[in-house]
A and B are shown apart, each in its own frame.
Chain A
Amino acid sequence: MTMPSNVDLPPKTRGLTAIAGAMSLIAVLLIVQIWLLSAALESFLSGKHNTALPAAIFSGIMFLICVGLYLFVDRVDSDVRHSAGDH
């Protein structure tokens, strides 16, 4: 018995897998962002202001990655809908 390859799966299942993967990545990035915010705030309150800039830059990069992943999810979703409509 062999596992079905990705191509054998129906487009909707493949789409759901891709969306789940993207969501997991976004969740991981979000956890890092929460940690970054709390660390930057702790540092700011203790009077160290030089950590604010790198924290903001990294947080911005992670936000852009999240936006990219969301656009990916959106595209996968519309692709699946189109393919479902074709069938």
Chain B
Amino acid sequence: MKWLRRSSSDPLWKEEFSVRTADERYVTRRQLTKFLVLTSFGMFVGNLWILVRSIFLKAPSYPQQVVAREGDIPIGGVKLFTFPTKDDHCILVRTSENEHVAFSQKCTHLSCAVYFSRENNRLECPCHKGFFSVADGSVLQGPPSRPLPKIVLESHDGQLVAVGIKTS
């Protein structure tokens, strides 16, 4: 009955499932390395996409839109309007006798609507206390990392006309 005896002293399951743990670890690590390198390639492609968009980005054209008459708003007063589309809400502030400024009303943090605080002379976001300078839209305090987009205004025949948007 010698032929019935198995040649190896290993248990039967070890002979039938001959994939060793070390070999399996080898395979999974190699596959994970490949996956990581492919992810790295994806990141590179993403950066290339941003580069291509930066190079070929056309300057957007905006319609000219009358926002208000120059004497309509009192000093320190505001007027809300939409520009360039009906969904883009903006805020116009008369800061002095001859100066008007306008910004997008959408906070650059999480898109809450900012309002003008006359006491503090700044634009404030009520959601997370992000404060913006009324002079240029720059961030004074809070979580927003980017300034408010500024609406470019021109004066034509006593009328304030929005002609563009300056993003930085």
Chain A contacts to B: CB under 8 angstroms:
12, 15-16, 19-20, 22-23, 26-27, 29-30, 33-34, 36-37, 40-42, 44-49, 52-53, 55-56, 59-60, 62-63, 66-67, 69-70, 73-74, 77, 80
Contact = CB atoms under 8 A, between A and B. Distances in A.
B40 A63 contact: yes
B29 interface: yes
B53 A62 contact: no
Interface of B: 22, 25-26, 29-30, 32-34, 36-37, 39-41, 43-44, 46-48, 50-51, 53-55, 57, 108, 145-146, 167-168
Q: Is the interface of B mostly helix, strand, loop or mixed?
A: helix
Contacts of A34: 43
A55 to B, nearest CB: 5
A44 to B, nearest CB: 5
A15 B26 CA distance: 9
A74 B30 contact: yes
10 contacts: A23-B29, A26-B36, A33-B43, A34-B43, A42-B146, A46-B168, A52-B47, A56-B47, A62-B44, A66-B41
A73 B146 CA distance: 43
B64 to A, nearest CB: 21
Given A16-B29, A19-B33, A37-B46, A46 B40 contact: no
A29 B39 CA distance: 11
A80 B22 CA distance: 12
Given A30-B43, A47-B167, A67 B50 contact: no
A77 B146 CA distance: 48
B109 to A, nearest CB: 12
